[in-house]
Amino acid sequence: MMPILIRSDNGRNTGIFESIDLWKVLRQELRIYAKPIGSLPHSLQNKLLGPPFLINDIQLQYLKELNKIDFDPGITGEIYEVFKEFTRKGYMLKDGMKFGCDFVGYPGDPLYCHATLMIVVTNFIEKFRLVELGRIAHDTQKELVMAWKDEEGVKIMKLAWVSTGAR
């Protein structure tokens, strides 16, 4: 089992660990992004963070499903199913709050590549929200993706912006 300390706060569970070897296993083998929250001892490199590392409750649930940890966070539902689907497809997912979405998807390791997807877990978006998300996706060079779960499984819809010609 993986040595991850579980912290519960306001009904949310997070995992904290300090092992760089575990960090590498999560990234390279399981495609789970563990957020570094500690600072390195070099003052000129204060933007670079190191141990300890933090993983969220959705990632903890995925590790439980893979039998890597004993703790069961009890996460179920659409957002978890979408997380699993994109992880199985080879993407590394990070929290998308900064972009106004649920996840941002990286085709490889976030240390080496740019996020290519903004993922919104829903099957319906209000028109003004759609315009907001579309503009953010376009300006940040990402594809906007709607994903949801129905009785047949996870459905994925990519939304593309196209030019309507000269203004």
Alpha helices in the chain (DSSP H): 20-28, 57-65, 78-88, 127-139
pLDDT digits (tens, 9 = 90+) for 105-148: 999 999 899 999 999 999 999 999 999 999 999 999 999 999 99
pLDDT, residue 44, reads 53
pTM of the full structure: 0.86
CA distance 59 to 31: 10
The predicted structure's pLDDT at residue 105: 98
Q: Per-residue pLDDT for 41 more than 80?
A: no
**Going from the N-terminus, what domains does the chain have, and what CATH number goes with each?**
1-75 (no CATH), 76-167 (3.40.1350.10)
Question: What's residue 165's pLDDT?
Answer: 65
Q: Does the pLDDT at position 42 exceed 70?
A: no
Q: Predicted confidence band at 153 (pLDDT cuts at 50, 70, 90)?
A: very high
Given a cut of 70, whether residue 166 has pLDDT beyond it is: no
Classify each residue of 1-18 as buried b or exposed e, where b means 16 or more C-beta atoms within 10 Å of its C-beta: ebebeeeeeeeebbbebe
List pLDDT tens digits, range 142-151: 999 999 999 9
Across the range 15-32, mean pLDDT stands at 93
Q: Provide the token pair at 62.
A: 């995925």
Residue 47: pLDDT band (50, 70, 90) is low
In terms of DSSP H, where are the helices of 12-156?
20-28, 57-65, 78-88, 127-139
* 54-100 tens-digit pLDDT: 999 999 999 999 999 999 998 889 999 999 999 999 999 999 999 99
